[in-house]
């Protein structure tokens, strides 16, 4: 599992391994507080910096939605360094009942075109009711 870090040029430290294990222990995208709960005791600042470096190096991506929803999820292997190379061929689905955020695969991102606008990055967010909460 160390290689997940090494492959993205992230120095391996015990704390970063702890955080990585937290990600691996969840199915879906997770919030800061979920990470904090799992970690138990930790330094808040170090955690912020860890998440920032994970993001910058394409190991995780941030998912934000209206209503102060902010979560983190693992990127795919291929995901590149630095923010501008994050490109995910999936949508982010937020369940209004259980508040889980799922990364759902789609065949391809829709293709927009606006004259004179250069499009570098597309994100799609969907809200609704997830599979498990359908009753």
Q: Which residues in this chain contact DNA in the complex, by CB under 7 A?
A: 6, 10-16, 32-33, 42-46, 48-50, 52-53, 68, 70
Tokens of 56: 């910058």
User: Which one, 44 or 113, has the nearer CB to a second copy?
Assistant: 113
Cβ burial 21-54 (10 Å sphere, 16+ → b, else e): ebbeeeebbbeeebbeebeeeeeeeebeebbebb
Tokens of 114: 């606006």
Taken as a whole, the chain contains a residue count of 135
Residues 56 to 85: which contact a second copy by CB under 8 A?
A: 61-67, 83-84
Residues 110 to 129: which contact a second copy by CB under 8 A?
A: 110, 112, 114, 116-129
Interacting residues toward a second copy by CB under 8 A: 61-67, 83-84, 91, 93, 96, 104, 106, 110, 112, 114, 116-131, 134
């Amino acid at each position: 599992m160390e290689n997940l870090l090494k492959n993205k040029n992230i120095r391996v430290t015990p704390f970063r391994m702890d955080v990585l294990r937290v990600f691996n222990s969840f199915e879906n995208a997770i919030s800061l507080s979920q990470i904090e709960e799992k970690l138990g005791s930790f330094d808040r600042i170090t955690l912020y910096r860890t998440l920032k470096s994970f993001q910058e190096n394409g190991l995780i991506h941030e998912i934000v939605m209206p209503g102060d929803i902010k979560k983190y999820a693992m990127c795919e292997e291929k995901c590149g360094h630095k923010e501008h190379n994050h490109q995910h061929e999936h949508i982010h689905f937020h369940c209004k009942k259980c508040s889980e955020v799922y990364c759902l695969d789609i065949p391809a991102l829709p293709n927009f075109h606006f004259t004179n606008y250069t499009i570098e990055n597309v994100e799609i967010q969907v809200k609704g009711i997830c599979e498990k909460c359908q009753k």
